Structure 1
Amino acid sequence: MIYNEFLLKRYEEMLGSRFKEFLEASRKPLPKYIRVNTLRIRPKELRRRLEEKGFELKKVMDYCFLVKKAPISIGATTEYLLGYYFLQDYSSLFPTINLDPKPGEIVWDMCAAPGGKTTHLAQLMKNQGVIVATDVRKVKSLWYNVMRMGVTNVIIYQRDAREVKYKFDKILLDAPCTGTGILRRDPTRVRVKLRDIRKASSLQKELMKTAYENLKEGGTLVYSTCSLEPEENEEVVEYALSLGFELKRAIGGEEGLLKGTVRIWPFESSGFFIAKLVRPCE
């Protein structure tokens, strides 16, 4: 069994009759997806190039493919090195899609490394406007991916997001978490205990408060984690509502334990939680 008994009991209570399906999916390798970087290439052209190399791809979104067959490592192709695509789980596209950044806006990616969502933001913004990308670690990988993907509208800072003071049009808070939704990719997450969940939830609430203080009135914040735990998800959103945020309906999966939020269970991709919040005008 890849989950510990503490986690299994939780998921059985949350999933009910779908718990067996969840366990069966957990024993299978995690499917691989690629996000096409439309700043550099059209999806149709990339698909042609990769299929000529022997890859078998299935379209799951206009610019996202499921890799059904890979004759070589998907991260070792010329196209990858040229920044034509990013290895990114299908579920992790939805935080950025929900934020819906527009060209010309000033956007903050609070916990940006290694850059999957940062470069996705730039793609949706057509390299226009400004993205401030902060992280306390892994900024080298963030910088590398920004450069590889041909992104030109990102400013990178290595600093604690809680120290930032500026007003942004939109904010993405893909918060540090226990990562129980990505256990098939990172088996170390099996060791997660209640104390780890509570510690993560405390930090997430601190980051949420910082986000509220730095978001313009009328601005949008998307909160997401790759955790399955309510303390890191719905509980943090309830805290956000107590700060003054208003909850808007998110898209991308089934409804979470809090109406309007989204949960993506790790059946066909990594597990994710997404909430869309707006700071109302006073």
Structure 2
Amino acid sequence: APAKAKKTQPKGNHVELSSDGEGEEGSWEMEEEEDGSSEEMVDDYGASSSEEEELLPIEKAALKQKADREGLSEDDSEEEEEEEEEAEEASKQKMGQKEEEGPDLQLNVDIDGQFKLPTSEEIEKEDILFICDIHKPCPPDLHVIHQRIQGNMEVLQDFGVKREEGRSRKEYLALLRRDMATYYSYSDFLLAKLMDIFPLPELINFLEANEVPRPVTIRTNTLKTRRRDLAQALINRGVNLDPLGKWSKTGLVIYDSTVPIGATPEYLAGHYMLQGASSLLPVMALAPQENERILDMCCAPGGKTSYIAQLMKNTGMILANDSSAERLRSVVGNLHRLGVTNAVVSNCDGRQFPKVLGGFDRVLLDAPCSGTGIISKDPAVKTNKDEKDILRCAHLQKELILSAIDSVNASSETGGYIVYCTCSIMVEENEWVVDYALKKRNVRLVATGLDFGKEGFTRFKDRRFHPSLKSTRRFYPHTHNMDGFFIAKFKKFSNAIPQAQKEPAVEATAPPAVPDTVIAEPPPKKKKLEGSKADKEQKLPQLALKKKRSLQAQRRPLKA
């Protein structure tokens, strides 16, 4: 029951956030009940009757014990006991049917409590039992799978002692991946990718964190108000909130509210922006200065752009660009509402940007990605991504990051910085892209200026990246309670585009053929050529003399 209590949220706090962790305008409308009452805003920790029907007998018993301690009447407890007895009998009948159909499925744990790996025949029987009639769908027994995951994890943590004889680690991992994909509803491809990134205990924490929504956060617009004044105004309206953390001077976290957060007078007046905590970090890493020229290459829906504007105090110039004209509508609306006056909105393909306009002091590239860091907002990512999607995103990101670097002026007095970020945790979209940029352009990685976050990978499986990738930062939902995010900060030290990397490749292929042909044969050829040229030079004056003499001989008789 406590796990379900965490997942239940008041209807007034239901939020639809964009892929980069920023709230779209008007997405926080409260879903009022049909009778117009707002009693459901009160957090009752899952004690409503509608949820009791979904509870297991063990959970119902726990609720009954808790209710008895709080002093429920005997009549209520008798009614609950009758309901529980009926539910237990029904569950026993179901369990009896399952045991008759497949008794071997319950024998994964022996008498001593030691986990035993199921045989291939048992797994086939399990698959057959899960395939039922179309009219009577039969979901897998998640309790059995969850117990098997726990037992498998215990064996893998002390594999040398607890493993079965004759069974390899690969067999345990294959079963674990299959069970976790079934239990958490992930595709086999994505789960295999996650198993490469996280150690097994941390992977479970990551998968569990994706089942719970991230806290609702807002950013104070200091162009119009102060955080203290905004917090007091919202508290007066019945909002329960706290400062986001010591690392943010503008963020507030919303626990619950009796009013729709996306329609308060303060929101409509532009005093705050609905924005995920992780999307504040790239702007903090960019550290824009007043009177600079800044490019936000993929700006929709405008949360980061408006944050840059408030840090610049509406000075300088911001070019807010996005390739989607539809998403730019929300950008324009948010910039007007928040009072941003130093931004110019453009609708261009970011890959063409050095030709469109360049010479910026700083560039922020929040690149399009697979969204594997925001699964709690978009659960469809669990199953609708494959290898082609990841590589397609990585290719686009490599093109965009080169364009972003080329758009920066390395000789800028105050800038020359590029911040690259994604809401993905895939190495192919993060460290791989950054390492590619380091090889193709005159840039180096510098510290992001963020005091927390995990270091980026310098090695991943059989790949080795530049050691400076330690200065990049990764953020995870299970460790930082925010969307999965990756941030890297570059410093450009030369406007020249290096082309020397292509020449060594040509020279490297040429030398093998050179010793056999070029070195042995050319010297005599050169000598012959030189000799023939000398002979010609000597013969030329002799021919000229002969011609002159013949002409003279021809002219004499004519005179005579």
TM category, shorter: over 0.9
**In 1: Cα distance, 2:493 partner to 2:296 partner:** 20
**Bigger Rg over Cα:** 2
Q: Is the counterpart of residue 7 in structure 1 residue 207 in structure 2?
A: no
Contact 2:442–2:494 at 8 Å: present in 1 too? Answer: no
Aligned to 1:215, the other structure's residue is in SS state coil
In the TM superposition, structure 1's runs of 4+ consecutive aligned residues that sit over 4 Å from their partners are: none
Cα shift at 1:260: 0.8
Alignment match, 1:184: 376
Contact 2:239–2:258, Cα closer than 8 Å, also in 1? yes
Note if contact 2:443-2:494 (Cα within 8 Å) is conserved in structure 1: no
Q: Are 1:241 and 2:434 an aligned pair? A: no
Larger mean CA deviation between 37-46 and 161-170 belongs to 161-170
Cα distance, 1:2 vs. partner?
A: 4.8
Whether the 8 Å contact between 1:104 and 1:125 is mirrored in structure 2 is yes
The answer to whether the Cα contact below 8 Å between 1:220 and 1:278 also exists between their aligned partners in 2 is yes
**Residue 168 of structure 1 aligns to a residue in which SS?**
coil
Aligned partner of residue 197 in structure 2, secondary structure: helix
Q: In 2, distance between residues paired with 1:240 and 1:58?
A: 40
How far apart in 1 are the matches of 2:291 and 2:278? 26
From 193, 211, 214, the equivalent of 1:27 is 211
Gaps of 5+ in 1: none
Instruction: Select the structure that is richer in strand.
Output: 1
Identity %: 42
Q: What do residues 164-220 of structure 1 show as CA deviations (whole Å, max 9, x unaligned)?
A: 231100000010111111111122322111111100000001011111211111500
**Structure with more relative contact order (C-alpha pairs < 8 Å, separation 6 or more):** 1
Tell me, yes or no, if structure 1 residue 39 matches structure 2 residue 239.
no
User: What is the number of equivalent residue pairs in this alignment?
Assistant: 282
Correspondence for 1:175 = 367
Match of 2:405 among 196, 212, 216: 212
Structure 1 residue 228, shift from structure 2 partner: 0.9
Alignment of 1:11-160 (within 5 A): 11-16=194-199, 17-60=201-244, 61-137=248-324, 138-160=327-349
The answer (yes or no) to whether the contact 1:2–1:26 under 8 Å persists in 2 is no
Flag the structure with higher helix content. Answer: 2
Partner SS state of residue 370, structure 2: coil
Mapped contact 1:2–1:187 kept (Cα < 8 A) = no
Aligned partners of 1:34 and 1:65 also within 8 Å: yes
Does the 8 Å contact 1:38/1:123 carry over to 2? yes
- Distance in 1 (alpha carbons) for counterparts of 2:220 and 2:186: 33
| Partner Cα distance (2:380, 2:269) in 1 | 32
What CA distance in whole angstroms lies between the structure 2 residues aligned with 1:224 and 1:4? Answer: 25
CA distance in 2, matches of 1:74, 1:269: 19
Residues 222-261 of structure 1: pairs in structure 2 closer than 5 A: 222-242=419-439, 243-250=441-448, 251=450, 252-257=452-457, 258-261=469-472
Distance 1:71 1:226 in 2: 31
